[in-house]
Amino acid sequence: MKPQIMALPGIHSFINMIDDDGKGCVVSLVESRETSEGNAQAVQALWANFADHLTEAPTADGFDVIANWSA
């Protein structure tokens, strides 16, 4: 899936997290909110690959980046 995800327009980074109970989230940094919203249909198609493993369809929320630090 990495090539398909990283090929989405405007994507800078992608983080997928999960806990011991199977709950998780995805954080991706994208060039702009507009670009991210333009990717919505392609992202839904990618999530469809995991439909058998999800209790419900994921929802997307957008945020503005205030800080993006790395060591």
Per domain, the residue ranges of the chain are 2-53
Q: How far apart are CA 22 and CA 34, in angstroms?
A: 31
Rg of the chain over all Cα atoms, to the nearest angstrom: 13
| pLDDT tens, residue order, the chain (71 aa) | 999 999 999 999 999 999 999 889 999 999 999 999 999 999 999 999 988 988 888 888 999 999 999 89
- Residues 2-20: pLDDT tens digits? 999 999 999 999 999 999 9
| Coil, helix or strand at residue 39 | coil
pTM of the model: 0.83
Is 9 within 8 Å of 38 (Cβ atoms)? Answer: yes
For position 57, what pLDDT does the model report?
81
